[in-house]
Amino acid sequence: MLSRFDEFLIHQTPEPIAHPVSMDRHHYDRYWLGGFPADASFYFAASLGLYPNRSVMDAAFSVVIDGEQHAFYASRRAPRERDETRVGPLSLEVLEPMRSLRLRLEDNDSGLRCDLVYRLRSVCVEEDRQVLRQGPAVMMDVTRFTQFGCWEGEIRIGDRTLRLQAARSHGIRDRSWGRRPVGEPDPGVPGGARQVFFLWAPLFWDDHASLAVFFEDGQGLRLHAEAKTVPLCAPGEVADAVDGSAVTAWAGVSRTLDYAGGTRRARSADLRLMAMDGSLRDIRIEPLLRFQMKGTGYGHPQWRHGLWKGDLATGHEHWRLDALNPLAPENLHIQQLVRCHSQGRSGLGVLEQLCVGPHVPSGFAGLLDGAP
């Protein structure tokens, strides 16, 4: 099946672009974007994903403010053209590749609306390839890049308007693609007890940004661990958004977490980065507010990524954060807007956590037990 993109010199196989190399049902391609003002008074995030072997595209937008989270969800039959990134009233337009995007949520029943433009402040930081196995089976094989930027525009929640200015906002986005469990589970013999420990920490400092990523098994063995730093520029001043020479990779990274009682959520966190010459940099992380990742489809019982819901479906909900059961499976995947401190400097950023199943370093023995 041909599409407009077959006109361009981008083919990696003899097939048309519309045909993925992999016929794996879990093949995906996704945008994720998040942001917050400099006063850390609210946090928002959006996602838009394509699952070509499931014929699904879905998207979501969610905002946390004053202890309440609002979420909008949409799903559709996957479009024929790869540049058709609209799901019902939610659209994501690439204004300039790797440099700026426009996110819009038009009138809908949720009361949520937005018209926002993201602009880069750093080059794209390509994370090391992430390959995770469960026994002989590959559960995840992903390429992802993270980019730091800013936002301008507005968000509306009913009659309330939240405005963002480039000079006083922070934006973090990632693009990932490959294989990750999505949609309905595969049929056949169950793969055993599920275990995931994931930590992702993109942080803004005054003149640079830092990123730390961890995957660990139930014993705490590092399956993936990396830390990178990148200079920050004024909006739009990055000359080459894919210039990897601007990224500094650290030789090693470690982390410690102090959990809030009865949860798997960090009450505080510490990162230690080790440079190539053996020098160390310590980072202290203090959470400010919480964002449930189910608000952008991650682990949501009804709106999880890749589910077939028909040619077009939309939905919405809102909840008080303090009313949620923190150990319910759909509530384990979270992000926290955080303040960070290192070497006499302070900054803001995000700490994302997903911990399911046993994790010895954290003291978790069961599937869903919490900290004492």
pLDDT at position 190, please?
56
Tokens 């139930």 correspond to what residue?
Answer: 218
Mean pLDDT of the chain: 94
pLDDT at position 188, please?
61
pLDDT at position 16, please?
84
The predicted model scores a pTM of: 0.95
164: β partners = 153
Tell whether the torsion through CA atoms of 321, 325, 326 and 331 is positive or negative.
negative
Region of residue 278 (left: phi > 0; alpha: psi -120 to 50; beta: else): left
Q: How far does the chain reach from its first CA to its final CA, in angstroms?
A: 56
pLDDT at position 279, please?
96
Residues counted in the chain = 372
* Cα(1)–Cα(288) distance, integer angstroms: 49
Give the pLDDT confidence of 128-160 residue by residue, as tens digits.
999 888 778 888 899 999 999 999 999 999 999
Beta strands in 66-221 (DSSP E): 68-77, 86-87, 90-96, 100-105, 112-120, 125-126, 130-134, 137-157, 160-164, 169-179, 196-204, 208-216
Give the pLDDT confidence of 11-68 residue by residue, as tens digits.
888 888 888 888 889 999 999 999 999 999 999 999 999 999 999 999 999 999 999 9
Low-confidence ranges of the chain (pLDDT < 50): 192
Question: What residues contact 245, with CB distance under 8 A and at least 6 apart?
Answer: none
Domains of the chain, each with CATH number or no CATH: 4-185+193-362 (2.40.370.10)
Helix (H, G, I), strand (E, B) or coil at 23: coil
Using alpha carbons only, give the angle 123, 127, 129 rounded to the nearest 5 degrees. 145
